[in-house]
Structures are given as structure tokens and as C-alpha cells.
Amino acid sequence: MKIYDIVGRRKVWFTISLVLMVVALVATFFPGVKLDIQFSGGTIITYSFTGQLDKNAFASTVESALAGRQVSLQEQQDMNTGNTQYVVTLSERSGITPDEQIAVNEALAQAFPDNQVEVVNLSNVDPTIGRDFFVKSIAAVALAAVVMILYIAFRFRKMNGWSAGVISVLALLHDVIIAYAAFVVCGFPLNDSFIAVVLTILGYSINNTIIIYDRVRENRRLLPQRTSYAELVNISVTQSLGRSINTTVSTVIAVACVCVLSVLYHVSSILTFSLPLLVGMFAGFFSSVFIAGPLWAFWQERRAAQRHAA
């Protein structure tokens, strides 16, 4: 079996990761982060209509009725009827008053008299509730990370489990940052879908990493004592590579199908979940194979060098 020199090319892998994270940092400011009203507070109004409506004209009519206040408009498919709906989002914390809603309805009825525009759903989110939801979501992700460190530290205690646990979470942080970049670059607002994507990636990516660490633990017992950390990781990653590729490909195909269907049927809520998840899965495969193992080997080599120096 050919052994791939994964650790020997670690500078290449680390550079790729660093570049991707710099892209995420730049995207935070250009074009910038959008917070959905679930986090920032605001109003969501869903409209149904008959016939064809121009999205720009629809949004302009709503903005004019609200005295120029800016709104965002998304198109979605009603899964029950198959009809197209427009979802208007007003991100201002003040939301929309009943009088303003009446004014909007009258303006739409006047501008599109033949399209039977009707309000299907209206949701107001208080800024305080949105902020509390955001804080609790971040706390849930942080708690998941701590639990993972403790679990890996215990399970792989014979191969310096604490370092394995910390490195695993660093690799997961890498995956989350890249998924976050996908949200920002695609112009998707951060909402509950982002938290769902993060938690899904945490569970998916850590599974690949644990498989590789399990091989490292077994090979450390089976291989000669003189085997270097780099050789140990290279052998373990090579042995696990086929399984990691098969798992990733099968999962990516399923998620990619969901992405395609969400585009075809204009279901933006599913697209904002499936597309960043797809990107995060590629990142998870990359970090499990090319980051977690080489970084663990580097950590152990540094510790060994420090012990010899002492």
C-alpha cells in the first residue's frame, strides 16, 4: 500500500486553510454580515398572489408605502399549492405598525389590482428576543465544543488525549469559519439555519476526525516504537482515506440534490441551509484528513523536542 506523505506537506494544507479563513475575514467586511430578524429583530410578511409579478416593482411598492424604509424580498414556492410567494423582510427593530401594514396592503392592491395580493403570514420579532436567541445559540455551540474536547480527551487518553481534543475542536472551528464564509459570500443572512449548519458540521466532521485518531491509536500500539509521529499519522490517514472519501461523497451527493431541488423550486429557506452545509462538508473532509492529523503530529514533535531539550 502506498503511504501518502500528508504530514510532510502540512505547510501546503495549513496555507490553504489560512487563505480560506482570510477570505472569511475579508467577507465579514466586504460585502458584510447580514443578521436575519431572528437575531436582530424586525418583521417578515409572506404574500401570495395570482399571475406574474415583477419582484423589483413589488419591493418598490412596499418601500414607497413605508416612506422609503428599505426592505428585502425573497421568492419561495408554496409546497402545498405550488404557487410562488414573496417574502418581504423589514430588518428595522421598530418593525411595522398595524397602520403601516394597512397602507402597504392598499398600495399593493392599487399597484397590482389583477393579481389578488394577500397576506399569508406576518411575524414580528422583538430585538430582545432575537438577541437572547443568538446568545443561547452561541452557548449551545460552545457547550458542544467543550463536550467534544472532554470526550476525545478521555477516549484517546493513551495518545495524549487533551491535545487530540483541542486540535479536533480547532479543526471544527476551521470548518465553521468556512461555512460562515459561504453564508456571507452568498449573501445569506445569519439565522437559525446557520446554527443548524454549524451543529450538523460539528457532528459530521468530528466523526471523520475520530476515525483517523482511532487508527493513530491502534497503529501506535502495532507499529515499532521508533516510528515517528509523522510516519504514524501518514500511515493512519492513508488507511482511513478510502472510508473518509466514501462517506463524504455519499453525503455530499445527498446534500447536493437538496441544493438543486431548492433552486429549482425556489425554496430559499432550504437553500440557505443546504448550500453552506455542502461547503462545510468539504471543509470537514479537508480538516479531518489534512489538518487534524498533521497538527497533532506537529504538536507531539514539539513536545518531544522540548522534553529532550530539558
What average pLDDT values come out for the chain (310 residues) when binned by 10 residues? Answer: 90 95 90 80 88 90 87 81 84 76 92 91 78 82 88 85 90 93 90 88 88 91 89 94 92 94 84 94 95 93 80
The domains located in the chain, with CATH, are: 7-31+129-309 (1.20.1640.10), 42-125 (3.30.70.3220)
What beta strand segments (E) does 22-155 contain?
42-48, 72-77, 84-90, 118-125
Beta bridge partners of 88: 45, 73
Q: What's the rounded Cα separation, in Å, for the pair 220 and 191?
A: 43
pTM (2 decimals)?
0.82
Query: What is the tens place of the pLDDT at every residue in 136-158?
Result: 888 888 888 889 889 998 888 87
How far apart, in Å, are the Cα atoms of 115 and each of 100, 148, 284?
21, 53, 46
Instruction: Give the cell for residue 139.
Output: 452557548
Nearest 5°: CA angle at 251, between 248 and 255? 130
Query: What is the tens place of the pLDDT at every residue in 63-87?
Result: 999 887 888 888 887 777 778 889 8
Q: What's the rounded Cα separation, in Å, for the pair 28 and 25?
A: 5
